[in-house]
Structures are given as C-alpha cells and as structure tokens.
Structure 1
Amino acid sequence: MTNQMKRVYAAIGKQDDFPQGLGRQVRLGMEELAVFHTTSGDLYALENRTPHRKGGSLAEAIVSGHYIYCPLRDLKINLEDGMVQEPDTGQVRTFHVKVEAGTVYVELIGQHDKSTELALSDSRSGGR
C-alpha cells in the first residue's frame, strides 16, 4: 500500500485580482505570500520576505519575465524556484499555484487553517 499525499490548496482570489507584471501581498493563515502574475500569464507565489538579513516585502519587487528584482538590494530572484541569481546567493521559499475556473489556489504547506483549506485532485494541476 502506498502512502500518497493529496495536495491541499486554499483559494487566494480570482485571477483578475492579480494584475499582470505586478506583485501582491496575500496572507494565508500564518504565511505571508508575495504573488506575482507575469506578463506571459503565469502566476507564482513566494514567501513574502527577501532572503537577506534586513528582510523586507518581496511583493514590491519589480517583475521582469520569470524573475523579480528585490526592492531593497536589487537581488535577481527566479520565480520558478526562488533561487537568487549569481553573483548573489540565497533562496526564497516557493508555493505551488494552480488556476481553476478563474480562481487562484496556493498549495498549503505545514499547518493551516482548516476553514480555508480546499482539497483538490492533483491530476488537473495547471499552474506553477
């Protein structure tokens, strides 16, 4: 018998709530996320904290293709894996995103508020 974990998602808004080319701060339980909608139409969610010591909100970052530029130190961060690009180092935690019927869902990781959870089949996984 295999122990397959079903992905659990929470709705964070409608796709139209996230303007293309910009980031938006979203609170989901104990997590604060920065959600980015690229001009190519992809949606990404990252932990809303820059990877350097002083920290700060990534939701204010400048979006360029599938990268963002940290508003405090101009670090270039890959939206797909959260990796800071050379010559700098670091990583930001990323969250799986999917869109179904115009609603944006983010995968819940760890503890979460049961009232906001929505279990969806992973077989139709679409976003990042």
Structure 2
Amino acid sequence: MTTQQSAIYYPAGEIEEFLPQIGRVVEIKDHELAVFRTSDGTIFAAENRNPHPKGGPLAEGIVSGYYLYDPLYDWKIDLNTGLVQAPDQGQVQMYPVKVENGQVWVAL
C-alpha cells in the first residue's frame, strides 16, 4: 500500500500478469475490478460491472486501442473516461492506476 496525492494505492499484481488486450479480474478491498493492458502497455482499471441495465462482467471484453468492446451488449467503452460511446449511454467507474518497478497499483 502506498499513497500519492491523498489517494491510497493497492497492489494489483505484476505487470507481466496482465496480458495485452485481455481483461483480468482483481479483487482489492471488497472491490472487484477489471484490469486491462492495451497493446502499447497502458494499464486501466474499472469496476467489473457493465453499466448496461442487465449488468454483467467487463473483464470479458476485448480491448482495441483505448476502447473496451463488450461482447454481451456490443457496447464500446472509452477506457480513459469510462464513458459508453453513442448511441448507447452509461459510464463505468474507472480507478487511477500507476506502475512502479513492474508492480501495478490501483487507487480506490
């Protein structure tokens, strides 16, 4: 556990554990997160819950560029903001991420 600008960061795993373009479920402090690594190595963490009214996990989505494509509802989600792209609407809770010495840290 480490702090940065009053946010508390928790270890989520080693960078090698997160394969490019594939989501991975990580549990931190009773929060189930979907962690994604883009093809350029950027890491994103989101609540592992689809904002669609019927819900569902996000970790099963497919990453392309900085977007997550949900296979259940065919939704496109911006990994930078968590916003669902038009014509659909909604927003995913995103969490700050940092990588230090090969370790991925997520702030809750």
Q: What TM-score results when the alignment is normalised by the length of structure 2?
A: 0.93
How many pairs align? 104
Q: Contact (CA 8 Å) 1:98, 1:104: kept in 2 or not?
A: yes
Q: Contact (CA 8 Å) 1:60, 1:71: kept in 2 or not?
A: yes
Whichever structure has more strand as a proportion of its residues is 2
The aligned residue for residue 60 of structure 1 is: 60
2:43 equivalent to 1:43: yes
Q: Deviations over 1:47-85 (max 9, x none)?
A: 101111111110000111000011210100000110000
2:16 equivalent to 1:9: no
The aligned residue for residue 83 of structure 2 is: 83
Whichever structure has more helix as a proportion of its residues is 1
Q: What 5-or-longer segments of structure 1 have no aligned partner?
A: 109-128
Q: Please report how far the alpha carbon of residue 7 of structure 1 lies from its aligned counterpart in structure 2 after TM superposition.
A: 1.5
Q: What TM-score results when the alignment is normalised by the length of structure 1?
A: 0.79
Classify the secondary structure of the residue corresponding to 2:59: helix
**Alpha-carbon distance in structure 2 between the residues aligned to 1:29 and 1:11:** 11
Q: Contact (CA 8 Å) 1:58, 1:71: kept in 2 or not?
A: no
Structure 1: which 4+ aligned runs deviate by more than 3 Å? none
Q: What 5-or-longer segments of structure 2 have no aligned partner?
A: none
Percent of pairs identical after alignment? 51
**Alpha-carbon distance in structure 2 between the residues aligned to 1:94 and 1:87:** 21
